[in-house]
Chains A and B, each alone.
Chain A
Amino acid sequence: MVTPLDIIKKKRAQAVARIISKGYLSTKRVYVGMATCEIAAGSKDVMDIFRQAVANGLTEVYLSQKGCAGRCNLEPTVEVVEEGKIPYKYGKVTPQKARDIIERHLKKGEVIREWLI
């Protein structure tokens, strides 16, 4: 008999496969905080910039939103994760900073240390 646990395990495997098929294993993953508080601080504009960049051919990047991590005074936050490396988290990201992050960090691999949290 198939138990609910079997079903959930299958579902999980499928979910993971779907996430991977969306490019999760790209070299860089970018997370933009998108809770009410972050949106109020301007994260929607930041997200739009990243979305545009991806639409305009920025490859090797997996873009996703996430909820509030609790750093209210530093929002909006953008996190860049590279496999095997320590993730970088930018605080108080403006649209201009987002463009710079795309140009300098995502395209050229340069970490903009002065903006890190």
Chain B
Amino acid sequence: MGFQNTETKNSGNIHFGMRIERKATVPEVHYKITLCDGTSCIRKQSKQIHQILDQELRKRNLKEVVSVHLSGCLGMCAKGPILIINPGYVMYGNITEADIPEIVESHLVHDTPVARLMVEENHLYNRFFRIFGDVDFFGKQMRITLRNCGIIDPENIDDYLSVRGYEALAKVLTDMKPEQVVSEVKKSGLRGRGGAGFPTGMKWEFTAKQPAGEKYVICNADEGDPGAFMDRSAIEGDPHTVLEGMIIGGYAVGSSRGVVYIRAEYPLAIKRLEKAIAAAREHGFLGQNILGSNFSFDIEIRLGAGAFVCGEETALIHSIEGSRGMPRPRPPFPAVSGLFGRPTLINNVETWANIPVIILDGGEWFSGIGTQGSKGTKVFALAGKVRNTGLVEVPMGTTLREIVFDIGGGIPNGRKFKAVQTGGPSGGCLPEPYLDTPIDYESLAKAGSIMGSGGMIVIDEDSCMVNIARFFIEFTQSESCGKCAPCREGTRRMLEILTRITEGKGCPEDIDKLERLGAMIKKSSLCGLGQSAPNPILSTIKNFREEYEEHVNQKKCRAGVCAAMLSYTINDNCVGCGACKRACPVNAIDGTRKEKHHIDPNKCIKCGQCYSVCKFSAVAKA
């Protein structure tokens, strides 16, 4: 997926005549120019234009800061020759040789795009996020869910209205029957963004087919993966999109009540959501007879106390009902018997945010993005050892390498890439050979991880894989609700074994034991939490078995993380400044001033203080 024909649509709202941004690192390339080199454009003199462009750049000494690329047919032959300038994705069409000096002078020298030559189309969504950001970070992204995040004022409904807000709802109420809405969502190929990837349209259809009567619509905003913040950012940046999606969902399945289940730890998101709901009511988007139709719908907010298991749909429903948040076996699925025993449509924040786009731009358009089995885009919270941490939204089928190295900018401080962890505590760690895995539900599952809700943590060589597995199992163990034995007992046993290994007390059988235990827990747990809890362990054993073996056989941690296996020594770099001696909390270091110091291994508690205070790299850990 690149910027191709559909992406020429400019945002038609008043916010953005041209909001573009540049990368300020001076010696690097400031502008990237893409010139269409398809047959049709060649016929319209694109080769000559390329030459003139080259001459102009040379004449103005811009060769260093502007790079020119030729592309295959961009699919806009009627507007050819096409020239695109990034950052900003400014597209010029029908250009002639005579226009080139003006474009170079105005756009490249004075930062002022030539409005006269820009391609303007019937503008739909602001989905291609070109108004922001430098090429590398935003170039490969495509923003559907986050199309308004970081662009509009989330607390002002006027801003949302100005970017065609609630138009999808109006369209649905004006000329679509509920069945048509369901079939549009089915056509889009959208799948649940909460992690499991169940086809959204089917879920809607099941709920819609239940006999009429009280039905519920739920938005699952109980985001619990450590390091994940997609849902929070989406709600904080653009709360109305989620509400609009839910109202449309309510219309499609014949429900009149919606609930947003959000964790109490997100005070700002809750505040903005409350504000958005109040504003939507005021404008008649919620309440009785929405926009003059005979459809009525209202939304309330329920706060979760932060239990990880409440992200599981049946546990979430129990929690809303006022019971303890514990899952129950399915079927019956919530579509049949959900909240208060009524048919319930439950989707994740990101899934809901896609709905207005699908309605306005059509399921067919949406299904053109992504791969065979996974359509649309996915938001990831990119974190860990990567230069550009942040929120990224990419089309399905983008490879992990593109996210980590192109968008993320690679690993900082010259360290080496080791693995990327997707799917949080339910996912797995994928090492280098899997970097070219395209991101979609099936490929990630095949590689031994899962799509998950969108956490993506980059791990470099300074991290110990055993320790990471231990971290995740510690998390799931403490979040296990305790209802079923495999999860309650199994995760605890796995944690014990892993703790033993990281403390240097592991035995060779432990690895096999972990694998057996993991397979058993996966098979026999009640809900998704237990069924996926062993994933981080199993995938690290599969991909980093040698690290486990080093831990148990040689009592060695190659990353130098597991404290019990470390020993600190002072080498010949020592100038005898005494900084380490003063920092040591247990007086394990002695030595005379200006002479090499020494650490007493029997006293040392391996806290690492000496290592961090030494200015001469004289403390070695191994």
Which A residues have a C-beta under 8 Å from some C-beta of B?
Answer: 2-5, 7-8, 11-12, 15-16, 18-20, 24, 33, 35-37, 39, 64-73, 79, 81, 83-89, 113-117
Contact = CB atoms under 8 A, between A and B. Distances in A.
Contacts of A113: 24, 26
17 contacts: A5-B174, A7-B292, A15-B157, A15-B161, A19-B156, A37-B229, A67-B149, A68-B149, A69-B150, A70-B137, A70-B146, A84-B112, A86-B22, A113-B24, A113-B26, A116-B21, A116-B23
A10 to B, nearest CB: 10
Contacts, number: 168
A7 to B, nearest CB: 5
Contacts of A15: 157-159, 161-162
Given A65-B154, A71-B133, A87-B19, 7 more contacts: A12-B161, A12-B162, A15-B157, A72-B390, A73-B388, A86-B18, A114-B24
Interface stretch (B231-239, B330-338, B341-349, B592-600): B231-239
Interface string B184-225: 000000000000000000000000000000000000000000
Contact of A35 (B157, B166, B236, B393): B236
Contacts of B175: 3, 5
B118 to A, nearest CB: 11
A69 B152 CA distance: 10
Contacts of A20: 14
- Interface secondary structure of B, over-half rule: loop
A83 B17 contact: yes
B266 interface: yes
Contacts of B22: 86, 88, 116
Contacts of B123: none
A73 B390 contact: yes
A8 B137 CA distance: 35
A18 B160 CA distance: 12
Nearest to A111: B111
A100 to B, nearest CB: 16
Contact of A89 (B21, B162, B237): B21
Contacts of B383: 72
B487 interface: no
Interface pairs A-B: 6 shortest CB-CB: A67-B237, A69-B150, A70-B391, A116-B24, A4-B291, A15-B161
A86 B291 contact: no
A16 to B, nearest CB: 5
B170 A8 contact: yes
Contacts of A7: 170, 284, 291-292
Contacts of A70: 137, 146, 149-150, 233, 390-393
A43 B284 CA distance: 33
Given A12-B161, A12-B162, A73-B390, A67 B233 contact: yes
A33 B153 CA distance: 9
A69 B151 CA distance: 8
A27 to B, nearest CB: 13
A17 B489 CA distance: 62
A71 B232 CA distance: 15
Which of B88, B133, B159, B293 is packed against the most chain A CB atoms within 10 Å? B159
B308 interface: no
A55 B220 CA distance: 40
B164 interface: yes
A86 B111 contact: yes
B19 A81 contact: yes
B293 to A, nearest CB: 6
Interface in B63-90: 88
Contact of B293 (A4, A35, A114, A117): A4
B177 interface: no
B303 to A, nearest CB: 16
Nearest to B233: A68
B19 A66 contact: no
A69 B134 CA distance: 12
A85 B22 CA distance: 11
B503 interface: no
A20 B13 CA distance: 12
Contacts of B166: 8, 11
B113 A86 contact: yes
A84 to B, nearest CB: 6
A12 to B, nearest CB: 5
B122 to A, nearest CB: 15
Interface string B130-172: 0111100100000000101111111111110110111101110
B283 interface: yes
B435 interface: no
Which of A70, A84, A116 is packed against the most chain B CB atoms within 10 Å? A70
A18 B158 contact: yes
B490 to A, nearest CB: 35
Contacts of B291: 4, 7-8
Nearest to B138: A70
Given A70-B391, A86-B88, A4 B173 contact: yes
Interface string B364-399: 000000000000000000010001111111000000
Contacts of B293: 4
Contacts of B283: 11
Interface in B283-311: 283-284, 290-293
B20 interface: yes
Contacts of A73: 387-390
A5 B14 contact: no
B268 interface: yes
A67 B159 contact: no
A39 to B, nearest CB: 7
A11 B18 contact: no
A15 B284 CA distance: 14
Nearest to A11: B161
B16 to A, nearest CB: 8
B562 interface: no
B162 A67 contact: no
B152 A89 contact: no
Given A5-B170, A12-B162, A65-B153, A87 B20 contact: yes
A87 B154 CA distance: 20
Given A4-B174, A4-B293, A8-B291, A68 B387 contact: no
Contacts of B26: 113
B266 A69 contact: no
A103 to B, nearest CB: 20
